[in-house]
């Protein structure tokens, strides 16, 4: 049985900087936001809601129906930070919040401030819209993380009591509700609760929610009728938005709200692995192919439409109206990890890497104080004033009324150590090349592995393997899908890895000795990437990628009207590291061509071949755009 290796000491220069930002800037900043102390930012009221629910403050509920989840994700991020570095002051603050949650919990275990304060007596009457189980799921995830990090049971006990109560409410038994939540989350959270407690009731409850979804008669129709509603659902009159239109095993195309879909797929993959469910595994594989080969941006962004924050149809990947919610890329990372537990295939880790280095961290500025909800691949600031592009912001925001993305990103970054390795009884697999140490047990033998690298800027990786005693086991090393010509040496001797590669991993099995060194070299040339011919938005355009990093052009480097910039096919592209730019990045430079606008003589249309002139250009990593002021940005550049 595969398991994620979490006892990781992170030393990576790239990710350590992000974790330090989360620790020293994001977590304190978000605590202030949750307590409504950020000037000129959207108020949260989330902590105050719990105080009101606990009877310790007067007032009305404020915020979204899922406001509780922002506190949950903040607590989960804190847990991951405590896992890697104890901080008594931060732990005391988290303990105080957990005690507040305990005081807000109802005697039967129920814990939800919206229904406790605003609509008491109406629990579970609108599962389709009101996120009760979604909030419960995020609180459960936080409790599991906090228990694993600190060993303290208080939060875990609070949420076990809630989960036990939920188990009495939902099911197919007499007097139970045969329903499921409109926003999937409880399903994946219950799997984590099962993993830490061993209580199979939680596993079975997760399975129930997955299996019940999409069954007829539709539960959402039943509860709508009970509420006296007569209008069809706003999205399409049906339930594709919630992926509840057909049973999950029959779903072959990603539809509806992207985050809901990917949270559900994450749970499906986890269940398939734990229960040996082949039909669920096949459904996951089919949906994976559709998402990653038909509906995913080059940045790892998913969900192309602002309407419903949703998937649309195959190859519909517009750049300037892209939604690509930060939470959706984060959810894609969650799914990749569960797919790797289900099936060891490098294609999953390739997508994990793509999303981590591009589509997730683009959602936060480099100092951790402003955030993108939407991650477009092309921005013209003036056009953001148009009605159909109002969801696209030319600059990051301090906070949001719907503030799911900032704390979600904080918990992902803080937990990055959970994504690097995966372990079986006699093997350790390396998914991500991130400077770190791991002390673990392989086949009954204590082993320390030290990984050193300047990834993603440099393709050299050193792994020092130190078992307590000589012994035979396997190292599975991912050969990135973007890489051609990977080289591996062991103790200075070159290894022919071609016969060792299986589904993207080089399986190196040998008797390992104390201090054995594995050196990997992944060449990182600048590559021009073309989109599938059916992606109409990118016809005649090219994107630049080096290693796992996708690049973009910004107005601050290249001037305005980036749509009139062309990259010649024979242009020489060079990459070099600039330590003082954007916290240190590799940039790509070269010579492009610009259309000579002066030839138009103030006319709108002319029957001429446009004159061009040569100009230098500079491309920066996409994740770092919009850290030097407002301006245009493009990922896909015209090719000439």
Active site residues: 309, 404
Would you give the DSSP letter of residue 296?
A: B
Tokens 């506190």 belong to: 71
Pair of tokens at residue 489: 């040496």
Question: Is 458 strand, coil or helix?
Answer: coil
Catalogue the E-assigned strands of 161-213: none
Task: Please answer whether residues 311 and 303 qualify as being in contact, where contact means their C-beta atoms are separated by less than 8 angstroms.
Answer: yes
Task: Please answer whether residues 35 and 47 qualify as being in contact, where contact means their C-beta atoms are separated by less than 8 angstroms.
Answer: yes
Distance CA 541, CA 477 (A): 34
Element holding 90 (H helix, E strand)? helix 88-104
CA atoms within 13 A on the CB side of 618: 15
Distance CA 249, CA 211 (A): 8
Which residues are CB-neighbours of 444 under 8 A, at least 6 positions away? none
Distance CA 497, CA 521 (A): 12
Would you give the DSSP letter of residue 611?
A: P
Pair of tokens at residue 468: 């307590």
Alpha-carbon distances, residue 331 vs 189, 203, 245, 285, 303 (angstroms): 13, 21, 21, 16, 11
Cis preceding-peptide flag for 217 (omega within 30 of 0): yes
Q: Cα 462 to chain center, whole Å?
A: 27
Task: Please answer whether residues 358 and 549 qualify as being in contact, where contact means their C-beta atoms are separated by less than 8 angstroms.
Answer: yes
Sign for the CA dihedral angle at 326, 329, 335, 337 comes to negative
Q: Cα 76 to chain center, whole Å?
A: 15
Judging by beta carbons within 10 Å of its beta carbon (0-12, 13-18, 19+), is residue 468 exposed, middle or buried?
exposed
Tokens 């008594």 belong to: 88
CA-nearest of 423, 291, 261 to 351 is 291
The total number of residues shown for the chain amounts to 640
Pair of tokens at residue 252: 């072959």
CA-nearest of 576, 565, 560, 572 to 636 is 565
638: which strand partners? 541, 566
Question: Is 515 strand, coil or helix?
Answer: coil
Pair of tokens at residue 113: 């401030």
Distance CA 25, CA 15 (A): 15
Tokens 């398991």 belong to: 3
């Amino acid at each position: 049985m595969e398991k994620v290796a979490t006892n990781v000491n992170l030393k990576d220069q790239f990710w350590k900087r992000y974790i330090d930002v989360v620790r020293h800037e994001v977590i304190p900043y978000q605590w202030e936001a949750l307590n409504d102390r950020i000037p000129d930012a959207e108020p949260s009221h989330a902590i105050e809601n719990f105080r009101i629910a606990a009877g310790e403050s007067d007032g009305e509920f404020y915020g979204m129906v899922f406001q509780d989840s922002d506190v949950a994700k903040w607590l989960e991020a804190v847990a991951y930070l405590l896992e890697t570095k104890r901080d008594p002051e931060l732990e005391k603050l988290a303990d105080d919040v957990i005690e507040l949650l305990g005081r807000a919990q109802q005697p039967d275990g129920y814990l939800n401030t919206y229904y406790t304060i605003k609509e008491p007596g109406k629990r579970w009457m609108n599962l389709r819209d009101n996120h009760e189980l979604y909030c419960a799921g995020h609180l459960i995830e936080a409790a599991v993380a906090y228990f694993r990090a600190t060993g303290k049971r208080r939060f875990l006990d609070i949420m076990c009591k809630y989960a036990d109560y939920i188990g009495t409410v939902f099911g197919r038994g007499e007097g139970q509700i045969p329903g499921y939540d409109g926003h999937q989350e409880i399903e994946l959270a219950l799997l984590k609760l099962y993993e830490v407690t061993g209580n199979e009731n939680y596993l079975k409850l997760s399975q129930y929610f997955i299996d019940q979804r999409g069954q007829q008669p539709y539960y959402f129709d039943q509860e709508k009728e009970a509420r006296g509603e007569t209008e069809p659902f706003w999205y399409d009159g049906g339930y594709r938005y919630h992926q509840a239109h057909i049973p999950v095993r029959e779903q072959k195309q990603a539809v509806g709200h992207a985050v809901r879909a990917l949270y559900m797929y994450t749970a499906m993959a986890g269940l398939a692995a734990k229960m040996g469910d082949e039909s669920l595994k096949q459904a996951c594989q089919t949906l994976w192919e559709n998402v990653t080969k038909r509906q995913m941006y080059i940045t790892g962004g998913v969900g192309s439409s602002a309407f419903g924050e949703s998937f649309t149809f195959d190859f519909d990947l517009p750049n300037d109206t892209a939604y690509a919610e930060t939470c959706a890329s984060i959810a894609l990372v969650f799914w990749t990890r569960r797919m790797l537990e289900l099936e060891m295939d490098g294609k999953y880790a390739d997508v994990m890497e793509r999303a981590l280095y591009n589509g997730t961290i683009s959602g936060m500025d480099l100092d951790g104080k402003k955030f993108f909800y939407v991650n477009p691949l092309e921005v013209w600031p003036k056009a953001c004033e148009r009605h159909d592009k109002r969801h696209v912001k030319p600059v990051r925001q301090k906070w949001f009324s719907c503030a799911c993305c900032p704390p979600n990103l904080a918990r992902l970054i803080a937990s990055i150590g959970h994504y690097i390795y995966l372990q079986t009884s006699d093997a350790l697999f390396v998914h991500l090349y991130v400077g770190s140490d791991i002390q673990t047990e392989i086949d009954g033998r204590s082993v320390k592995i030290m990984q050193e690298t300047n990834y993603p800027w440099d393709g050299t990786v050193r792994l020092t393997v130190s078992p307590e005693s000589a012994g035979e086991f396997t190292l599975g090393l991912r050969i990135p899908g973007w890489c051609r010509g990977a080289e591996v040496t062991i103790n200075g001797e070159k290894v022919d890895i071609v016969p060792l590669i299986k589904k993207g991993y080089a399986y190196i099995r040998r008797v390992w000795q104390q201090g054995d060194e594995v050196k990997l070299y992944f060449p990182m040339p600048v590559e021009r990437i073309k989109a599938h011919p059916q992606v109409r938005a990118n016809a005649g355009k090219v994107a630049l990628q080096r290693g796992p990093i996708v690049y973009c052009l910004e107005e601050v480097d290249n001037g305005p009207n980036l749509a009139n910039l062309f990259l010649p096919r024979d242009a020489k592209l060079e990459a070099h590291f600039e330590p003082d730019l954007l916290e240190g990045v590799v940039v790509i430079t070269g010579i492009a061509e610009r259309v000579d606008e002066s030839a138009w003589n103030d006319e709108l249309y002319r029957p001429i071949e446009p004159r061009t002139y040569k100009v230098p250009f500079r491309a920066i990593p996409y994740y770092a755009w919009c850290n030097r002021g407002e301006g245009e940005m493009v990922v896909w550049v015209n090719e000439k």
